[in-house]
Amino acid sequence: MLGVCYYPEHWPESQWHIDAQNMRKLGISYVRIGEFAWSRLEARRGQFTFEWLDRAIDILHEAGLKVVLGTPTATPPKWLMDEHPDIAPYDADGNVRGFGSRRHYSFSSEIWWAESARIVEVIAKRYGTHPGIAGWQTDNEYGCHDTTVSWGPEDLKAFRRWLRMRYQTTDQLNEAWGSVFWSMEVNSFDEVELPTRTVTEPNPAQRLDFWRFSSDQVAAYDKMQVDIIRKHSPGRWITHNFMGFINDFDHFQVGDNLDLASWDSYPIGFVEKFPFTEDERNRWAETSHPDIAPFHHDLYRGVGRGRFWVMEQQPGPVNWAPWNPVPKPGMVRLWTWEALAHGAEVVSYFRWRQAPFAQEQMHAGLNLPGLDEWSVGGLEAHAVAGELAALGDLPESVQAPVALVYDYASYWATTIQPQGRDFRYEELAFRWYEAARRLGLDVDFVRPGADLSGYKLVLVPCLMQVNEAALAAFKNTDAVVLYGPRTGSRDEKFRIPENLPPGPLAPLTDTRQTQVASLRPRLGDSVSGSVSGRAIRWREYLETTATVIATFENGDPALTSQNDHHYLACWPDEALLSSTLAVLAEKAGLETLVLPEHIRIRRRGNLTFAFNYGAEDWTIPVSGEFVLGGQVLKPQQLAVWV
Amino acid sequence: MLGVCYYPEHWPESQWHIDAQNMRKLGISYVRIGEFAWSRLEARRGQFTFEWLDRAIDILHEAGLKVVLGTPTATPPKWLMDEHPDIAPYDADGNVRGFGSRRHYSFSSEIWWAESARIVEVIAKRYGTHPGIAGWQTDNEYGCHDTTVSWGPEDLKAFRRWLRMRYQTTDQLNEAWGSVFWSMEVNSFDEVELPTRTVTEPNPAQRLDFWRFSSDQVAAYDKMQVDIIRKHSPGRWITHNFMGFINDFDHFQVGDNLDLASWDSYPIGFVEKFPFTEDERNRWAETSHPDIAPFHHDLYRGVGRGRFWVMEQQPGPVNWAPWNPVPKPGMVRLWTWEALAHGAEVVSYFRWRQAPFAQEQMHAGLNLPGLDEWSVGGLEAHAVAGELAALGDLPESVQAPVALVYDYASYWATTIQPQGRDFRYEELAFRWYEAARRLGLDVDFVRPGADLSGYKLVLVPCLMQVNEAALAAFKNTDAVVLYGPRTGSRDEKFRIPENLPPGPLAPLTDTRQTQVASLRPRLGDSVSGSVSGRAIRWREYLETTATVIATFENGDPALTSQNDHHYLACWPDEALLSSTLAVLAEKAGLETLVLPEHIRIRRRGNLTFAFNYGAEDWTIPVSGEFVLGGQVLKPQQLAVWV
Amino acid sequence: MLGVCYYPEHWPESQWHIDAQNMRKLGISYVRIGEFAWSRLEARRGQFTFEWLDRAIDILHEAGLKVVLGTPTATPPKWLMDEHPDIAPYDADGNVRGFGSRRHYSFSSEIWWAESARIVEVIAKRYGTHPGIAGWQTDNEYGCHDTTVSWGPEDLKAFRRWLRMRYQTTDQLNEAWGSVFWSMEVNSFDEVELPTRTVTEPNPAQRLDFWRFSSDQVAAYDKMQVDIIRKHSPGRWITHNFMGFINDFDHFQVGDNLDLASWDSYPIGFVEKFPFTEDERNRWAETSHPDIAPFHHDLYRGVGRGRFWVMEQQPGPVNWAPWNPVPKPGMVRLWTWEALAHGAEVVSYFRWRQAPFAQEQMHAGLNLPGLDEWSVGGLEAHAVAGELAALGDLPESVQAPVALVYDYASYWATTIQPQGRDFRYEELAFRWYEAARRLGLDVDFVRPGADLSGYKLVLVPCLMQVNEAALAAFKNTDAVVLYGPRTGSRDEKFRIPENLPPGPLAPLTDTRQTQVASLRPRLGDSVSGSVSGRAIRWREYLETTATVIATFENGDPALTSQNDHHYLACWPDEALLSSTLAVLAEKAGLETLVLPEHIRIRRRGNLTFAFNYGAEDWTIPVSGEFVLGGQVLKPQQLAVWV
């Protein structure tokens, strides 16, 4: 089904009814509203003006649209910031990040929690049982604009409280952090500082704890909102709209609060944000890289425990990337179908009509700026609506054969301690995902410690800390497992394990790591054997008596195998990665189909979808009964068959 | 005529008479002095020591030199900064920009206005009627070192005052800025903040207003000085020495205060400052790009309503660019003549003698450091003086056939909202100017709304906001007009026009814009038709029933024509730009002469000047009576013919 | 002899005895301890816990190891920072650089001096006469992490005191700095500000004075510690462990306090830190550039007036460079021998055992992380120990034939006023050193003004200020002398000399400089004559009647000779530099041997050492009696012959 994001407060009231009718005409079922409207709901403390929102919701409801209501906490109004300046977040240099855009709050502010609870409760009470309200969105895009972590006095207070809970005594804290190194020991929790503005690098264990703390706060803050809404709005689901490529907090943990996950899909904008090569950025500038949206669909399906929406779908050019091209004709339709193929329940476009004012005036909508006239994106969305109606209900998504273990804490740990400037967790995970998808494989994202039963192939690009649950899951799986570099290289306290890396995985893999090299861009080491390619960026020195599948130039083991447990002792280049996954997929009994770089396929129930992100036709090498498209897949087109 | 900048306070008094005599010998007529001398005129509050300046002026006057006296407000002394620390400007991060160099004041400080008025009045009274004083310079290089805009508490107060005047009520302000977006509404003008240090980008309409305010302040501050001087110095002209490539304030507005404009011409230093390619920077490193100085001559002739000086002419290597090469032999003479060809009344060199101390000790003068010995630049200036004497009075500059509409507000608007990282207004305007000059055309710079009568071809590289005056001028002109990308794309409130861009130009051009793409460096779109080349950086999607002169690859209109009004829907590459201007110049009945990249020509009255900035001879393809040089133009040489 | 850095406080006490035994087994003689242990020695003010250190020293001593005891002042503990927050240093933006790593103190804090004296005295008294203590190290790596210069209120106070001492009156200060320029004059020393956060660049003379002041403070602070230790620890030597490529303070001046110099040699980490080309960085990534360690060995042998140690020798990969590769097999041994060849008395490895926790957990040790098991580096160190034992005492180092005049003040002056973005003193000096070493020459580093007798060739890459002592040394030497660009271009007050550069060297060189060009990377000027190559980056315009050995393209003098005094008027490329040194070495009667880029030789007494840093064999072209290695020098190997 399709949805749209709508801002009644941006348009004259006379327009609302027209908009509702046009939404229906286009094929919209859900409308998200309200998430930035605080200043219109409470222009001064306690002076509530809900009447306009009452009318807007009634109009939408009466038009047969279902409303998703957002809590307005991403935009605390100016009067509140002036009353309580300590709501504002701080950057790592200790400067206030002030009012004038959005997300100008720190999760550590106790006053902010009280104010958030207050406004959420008022709204949840007023609309919780309105028949037009289908569900709720908490806040908006946690973590966007680097707002997970804040570095102010309130944050320091909250961090000290969190540490006191975690460690009980400073002796335990000093021991955990190895504070004896460089005389960093503290005698009281009130002596702890934030790990910033030090002369040289701060303690990595302290940094990891500060990141854990910051992540915990997001989840707890979200839960506070969720609890209030549940109390006052029985029978409605609750979601949050996550962003793409944000790893500052553990999304699985926030997902635990929610009924379903949703995310904001800006496939073209993200081409600039992710560390692609310039060649890739040019190639995919007007279509997006074929794995960006799917990566997140699969991730958030995992975060939502099987249920997810796209809450904001890019409908044309946006305003916020370094360059903002017009998507190629057909891409808005393709992205919508790609989301549905990956199991999205609803794809909701951002936004109904382009605003002629303020920060996002260059962001396309389904209608031209200020007009009642469908944009190119609006026309494509309308086409999808027609196709969806013709197809009827889509089948359920089923468990994929491949699991990718995605771990936010490993992002934090490798960011804190890259050891080589280009060791980027998110890039490694993305490349592993891409390589699996290039083999035509469907992929589920799972968190460390999740039950792995039912999977044939488990990919662990990098899991720095293998805790007991994760270890148990690895021990218990029947799948072929591939562990990537740095897996098991730290314990909970950010220490090197006593038995050296991969620490707890030593028994499963029969390996021990004695040295590690990070490699400048031109350096590398060739790998040969049953798989081949090059180690780039990172190369480990292993001792093993396990089977050696491939070796480095000097004969050292590069890829080892003990039963179904494989360890890859480097950052693989594309050739090494794809040959490794091909060999392991075969070992796992998986059928693969090597796809061109611009083609991807994905199954949903009994349907198979194929998508063409490139400039050349692709003749589909399998036969099937086509329900959309046909055997020859044209650029920016899709095909669906049974 | 020639002039020079001189600092008697830097040299022993015994030297002054020698210097004056040597100036006369070299061929100098005007001497600018005094603009950094505050600490020598008033070492402590109220303790004035004007006697030395009296003697210096007398000596110069008695030697037959005319004095241009600068007000010393660019360098408030330390005792004053200590008395009133809130004079100091702030950077956008909220840090004070302190004492120790120059321009350390904010235009918003009321105390600073009072102190400025005090010192200007004292000086104007003392020297206003001295027979040696020919004219005045206010302050020094407004805006240099990013000093137009300041971000401190005084600036916030002044901005709030300005907004109160402009909008009367916060309702009107909220409506103008579209503050409803992201709950940015304010209940009082005292709730407005400066548009900086926000979590993500601040409101663009707010930013534009802050820039307008900052620009207004420069003009008002300058007018305050001008009014005082006029009162006490009847019959003397007043100028200000503008800098190059500074767009932070509206120079036309400051020009309105003045009798004539002047500017500081550092052709080589500016090669590093302007966004040239590395190839261009290497090619023009020792000569300057052939359009840098001319661009500013033509701009400031416009700012000065026909009258301008070069107040500071680079006489050799300077100290402030990333690299500071020695100009090729002949360039100091060539630059001087180029200025004269463009209508300069006086070319004044900076400075008489290289200082052996302080910040600019690596800046060449007409004399070697600390010595009575002409430098290479001094010798070339002397040669010009001889040539000028031989030629007699130069004819008046006349109106050029081509007008380029230059708009500071469009610089602000595109800087606030580039939408593509490389959309740089100043670069677009420069390239359009360069293309016209490569066709051998003389160009006048006019402000938006200026009367366009008499012009054959009007170039509007980008005029974001087409106000009523500008629209009237376009309607009334008989010229062929070319509008570039983004023209008419915003109204006064920074909103997208209700009829979509080009807004008020829709009737004149019969176009409507539905989408906009900004393009990464490798992306582009080929354009073909009566003109051809490539769209780079920026590409618009137009609807039109006007004549389509050229189309994009997919057939969309790229260059349209309705009568004499042409709209170019992209950022053109060099080929597209030059073919477009060639076609339109022909349509306008202008005779063109395609010049090599290193040659430029310019007319002044009945004289035609040709300049060779390159490494190869150029045989002048027209015949004339040479008054300087001859038919074959050698590198770094010039020719003048009737 | 070999040593090692050890942290008993990082390991359980039960481990200490085992470690001591293993050190002996490996071949260690010296153990440095204690330099970061303050929080374990004084966890709260006055609560000293020396007992563990007593036991650690006793254990080492009883095992036959000699202890070097470090003062713990590089890591003031948290309780002290909380008591006296003004100990903390400030960055140039005025922000505190806080607790949480190391070196978080300003040399200007008077309280910090008192606290330092207090802890040093307590430790010196307790251990000064312990039979196990062989010597002392003051603090740790002065200047590391940009900690020489601090920009806080305490620093401003101290700078004003220093200026009052230096100038007596503000008139003299104003005159020295040329403050009249831009009205920067002050009426009181309390009006002086730190040269930072100005609107445009601050006064260069003021900046130089602030750098001199900052350097003086390091030397005085060190002397304070040295005086206390000498008083309480008779018969022990004192050193400081300097870092590599730090030029913020005058190391010769600190060296004057010490009995011997020592330094911390991280040959691979420094490859990333020095401004090499990317090609060089790739080529030497896993071996280090063959001159990095030797450059510092020779520099610190000079600083130590003939005596130096390597206090910290890299034993494997480190943690702090952008990339941290594993050294090629053999390099730890090679680096150790290279140090010994250059005269090191002891080479001490950092560290005994890799720490599994805190900031340096990725830094290799002689033992694997947390284990009693030698790493690759440990095994190579053990091999050296065996070779050393077999060889017996090494002969003394003797004076080299070549002196390189190294001047920290010229680093400061050229950093303050590069004039061309890539004029980097340290790079120029390094390239001159490299060129001499490529000719097989041994080099001594001397400070300006040092007696030059005994040298055959004196290299002066750049000596901005030639004071009387330096001039006398140049006048008195019999050596062939080569002066590089900018030598003599400023006087003590940072003024251009009255006779123009090279100022005081004019009589010796018969040259006068009238112009200077800094050149963008692609610009340059070819030089030909008896030497040839290209001028890059910097080119001077000389007048001379001396012999012109080579000229620029336009015939201007590039290399001049008057008797044995030569002036090179440019930054030479490699060809010009090597041909110049070859010609001058021949003139000086020196025998040279042109070495491949990967080979270096060095003499120590009657021994000649050769080292192979590359990937290809080198057949040694001289005959000798080999005491280590043989005629064919394999990659990463060394040979020693008589």
- What residues of chain C lie within 8 A of the CB of B325, using their CB? 517-520, 523
Cβ-based neighbour number of residue C482 at 10 Å:
25
Q: Which of B141, B154, B434, B540 is catalytic?
A: B141
CA distances from residue A25 to A21, A29, A32, A81, A382 in whole angstroms, order as listed: 6, 10, 17, 41, 8
Q: Do B282 and C520 touch (CB under 8 A)?
A: yes
B312 a catalytic residue: yes
- What residues of chain B lie within 8 A of the CB of C202, using their CB? 100-101, 359
Q: How far is C113 from chain A (nearest CA, A)?
A: 19
| pLDDT tens by residue, C69-107 | 999 999 999 999 999 999 999 999 999 999 999 999 999
Distance CA B355, CA C241 (A): 42
Distance CA A491, CA A498 (A): 9
Selection from B441, B437, B432, B435 nearest residue B463 by Cα: B432
Q: ipTM > 0.90?
A: yes
Selection from C481, C440, C491, C490 nearest residue C461 by Cα: C481
What's the pLDDT score for residue B297? 98
Question: Looking at the partner chain, which of B201, B417, B421 has a beta carbon nearest the beta carbon of A101?
Answer: B201
H-helix segments, A63-109: 78-83
- What residues of chain A lie within 8 A of the CB of C376, using their CB? 514-515
Q: Do A145 and B199 touch (CB under 8 A)?
A: yes
Selection from B123, C111, C46, B185 nearest residue A41 by Cα: B185
| pLDDT tens by residue, C453-480 | 999 999 999 999 999 999 999 999 999 9
| pLDDT tens by residue, A77-93 | 999 999 999 999 999 99
Beta strand ranges found along C25-88 (DSSP E): 30-33, 42-44, 47-48, 66-70
CB proximity B278 to C under 8 Å: yes
**3-class SS of residue C373:** coil
Q: Are C527 and C539 in contact (CB under 8 A)?
A: no
Q: Are residues C626 and C557 in the same domain?
A: no
- DSSP per position, A286-329: TT--TTHHHHHHHHHHHHTTT-EEEEEE--S--SSSSS-PPPPT
What's the pLDDT score for residue A121? 98
Cβ-based neighbour number of residue C168 at 10 Å:
11
- What residues of chain A lie within 8 A of the CB of B525, using their CB? none
Report the CATH number that the domain containing residue C321 is assigned in CATH.
Answer: 3.20.20.80
Peptide bond into C351 cis (omega under 30): yes
Q: Do A516 and C145 touch (CB under 8 A)?
A: no
Q: Are A287 and A347 in contact (CB under 8 A)?
A: no
B604 assigned to a ligand binding site = no
Q: Residue range B489-517: average pLDDT? A: 98
CA distances from residue A626 to A333, A342, A632, B350 in whole angstroms, order as listed: 18, 18, 11, 78
- Flag whether A165 is in a domain: no
Q: Are C236 and C227 in contact (CB under 8 A)?
A: no
What's the pLDDT score for residue C391? 95
- Flag whether A159 is in a domain: no
Selection from C106, C513, A275, A538 nearest residue B364 by Cα: C513
Q: Are residues C373 and C415 in the same domain?
A: no
H-helix segments, A370-407: 376-391
Name B557's bridge partners: B551
Q: Are residues B353 and B440 in the same domain?
A: no
Distance CA C579, CA C568 (A): 12
CA distances from residue C254 to A20, C293, C425, C426 in whole angstroms, order as listed: 79, 20, 20, 19
Structural domains of chain B, count: 3
Instruction: Return the amino acid letter for C399.
Output: Q
Q: How far is A104 from chain B (nearest CA, A)?
A: 6
Summary mean pLDDT of chain C: 98
Start-to-end CA span in chain C (Å):
20
CA dihedral sign, ordered A76, A78, A84, A89? positive
Q: Do A181 and C360 touch (CB under 8 A)?
A: yes
Q: Are C383 and C333 in contact (CB under 8 A)?
A: yes
**3-class SS of residue B295:** helix
Q: Are residues A410 and A539 in the same domain?
A: yes
CB proximity B514 to C under 8 Å: no
What's the pLDDT score for residue A281? 97
A-B CB pairs within 8 A amount to: 168
Q: Are residues B547 and B611 in the same domain?
A: no
Residue pointed to by tokens 């062929």: B480
- Flag whether A199 is in a domain: no
Q: Do C77 and A185 touch (CB under 8 A)?
A: yes
Q: Are residues C271 and C420 in the same domain?
A: no
Distance CA B633, CA B595 (A): 13
- Residue finishing a domain among B565, B588, B611: B588
Instruction: Return the amino acid letter for C255.
Output: G
- What residues of chain B lie within 8 A of the CB of A103, using their CB? 199-200
Q: Are A323 and B421 in contact (CB under 8 A)?
A: yes
Q: Do B281 and C520 touch (CB under 8 A)?
A: yes
Distance CA C515, CA C539 (A): 9
Q: In chain B, what is the greatest distance between 2 CA atoms, to the nearest angstrom?
A: 76
Selection from C209, C138, C224, C132 nearest residue C174 by Cα: C209
| pLDDT tens by residue, B52-72 | 999 999 999 999 999 999 999
What's the pLDDT score for residue A32? 98
- What residues of chain B lie within 8 A of the CB of C553, using their CB? none
Candidates A42, A101, A354, A357, partner chain B, best to mutate (most B CBs within 10 A): A357
Q: Are A367 and A375 in contact (CB under 8 A)?
A: yes
Cβ-based neighbour number of residue C469 at 10 Å:
13
Which letter, b or e, does each residue of B515-534 get, where b requires 16 or more Cβ atoms within 10 Å of its Cβ? bbbbbbeebbbebeeebebb
Summary mean pLDDT of chain A: 98
Q: Are residues B347 and B425 in the same domain?
A: no
Q: Are residues B446 and B344 in the same domain?
A: no
Q: Are residues C329 and C434 in the same domain?
A: no
Residues 65-104 of A with CB under 8 A from C: 93-94
What's the pLDDT score for residue B421? 97
Report the CATH number that the domain containing residue A619 is assigned in CATH.
Answer: 2.60.40.1180
Please provide the size of chain A in residues: 642
Helix (H) or strand (E) holding C473: helix C468-476
Q: How far is C213 from chain A (nearest CA, A)?
A: 21
What's the pLDDT score for residue C232? 98
Helix axes B408-416, B425-438, angle to 10 degrees: 130
Distance CA A460, CA A452 (A): 12
What's the pLDDT score for residue B148? 98
- Flag whether C167 is in a domain: no
Is pTM beyond 0.95 here? yes
| pLDDT tens by residue, A451-460 | 999 999 999 9
- Flag whether B108 is in a domain: yes
H-helix segments, C87-145: 110-127
CB proximity A499 to C under 8 Å: no
Q: How far is C97 from chain A (nearest CA, A)?
A: 5
- Flag whether C179 is in a domain: no
Residue B106: which pLDDT band, with cuts at 50, 70 and 90? very high
Distance CA B372, CA B378 (A): 11
Cβ-based neighbour number of residue A174 at 10 Å:
17
- Residue finishing a domain among A333, A363, A391: A391
A312 a catalytic residue: yes
| pLDDT tens by residue, A104-145 | 999 999 999 999 999 999 999 999 999 999 999 999 999 999
Q: Are A585 and A593 in contact (CB under 8 A)?
A: no
Distance CA A555, CA C157 (A): 62
CB proximity C199 to A under 8 Å: no
Distance CA A410, CA C453 (A): 61
- What residues of chain A lie within 8 A of the CB of B93, using their CB? 95
Helix axes A292-303, A331-341, angle to 10 degrees: 30
CA nearest B176 in A: which residue?
A357
Start-to-end CA span in chain A (Å):
20
Residue B410: which pLDDT band, with cuts at 50, 70 and 90? very high
CB proximity B319 to C under 8 Å: yes
Q: Do C355 and A420 touch (CB under 8 A)?
A: no
- Residue finishing a domain among A372, A391, A410: A391
- Flag whether B612 is in a domain: yes
Q: Are residues A413 and A300 in the same domain?
A: no
| pLDDT tens by residue, B277-306 | 999 999 999 999 999 999 999 999 999 999
What's the pLDDT score for residue B313? 98
Token representation of residue B158: 């002044």
Q: What is the dihedral of CA A186, A189, A193, A199, to 10 degrees?
A: 10
Distance CA C157, CA C90 (A): 13
Residue C497: which pLDDT band, with cuts at 50, 70 and 90? very high
Q: Are residues A15 and A147 in the same domain?
A: yes
Distance CA B416, CA B422 (A): 12
Report the CATH number that the domain containing residue C576 is assigned in CATH.
Answer: 3.40.50.880
Residue pointed to by tokens 């944050």: A155
Selection from B334, B323, B322, B319 nearest residue B377 by Cα: B334
Candidates B520, B536, B541, B556, partner chain A, best to mutate (most A CBs within 10 A): B520
Instruction: Return the amino acid letter for C239.
Output: T
Distance CA C11, CA C371 (A): 11
Residue A377: which pLDDT band, with cuts at 50, 70 and 90? very high
Annotated binding site of C for substrate: 102, 140, 320
Q: Are residues C500 and C616 in the same domain?
A: no
Residue C262: which pLDDT band, with cuts at 50, 70 and 90? very high
- Flag whether B268 is in a domain: yes
> How far is residue C496 CA from its own chain's centroid?
29
Distance CA A634, CA A599 (A): 10
- The fraction of chain A above a pLDDT of 70, given in percent, is 100
B-C CB pairs within 8 A amount to: 168
Helix axes C331-341, C292-303, angle to 10 degrees: 30
| pLDDT tens by residue, A276-328 | 999 999 999 999 999 999 999 999 999 999 999 999 999 999 999 999 999 99
Summary mean pLDDT of chain B: 98
**3-class SS of residue A72:** coil
What's the pLDDT score for residue C595? 98
Residue A28: which pLDDT band, with cuts at 50, 70 and 90? very high
Q: Residue range B307-332: average pLDDT? A: 98
What's the pLDDT score for residue B639? 98
Rg (CA), chain A: 25
| pLDDT tens by residue, C320-347 | 999 999 999 999 999 999 999 999 999 9
A606 assigned to a ligand binding site = no
Q: Are A299 and A400 in contact (CB under 8 A)?
A: no
B73: exposed, middle or buried (C-beta count within 10 Å: 0-12, 13-18, 19+)? Answer: buried
A320 assigned to a ligand binding site = yes
Cβ-based neighbour number of residue C636 at 10 Å:
20
The domain in which residue C578 lies consists of 402-588
Q: Do A359 and B495 touch (CB under 8 A)?
A: no
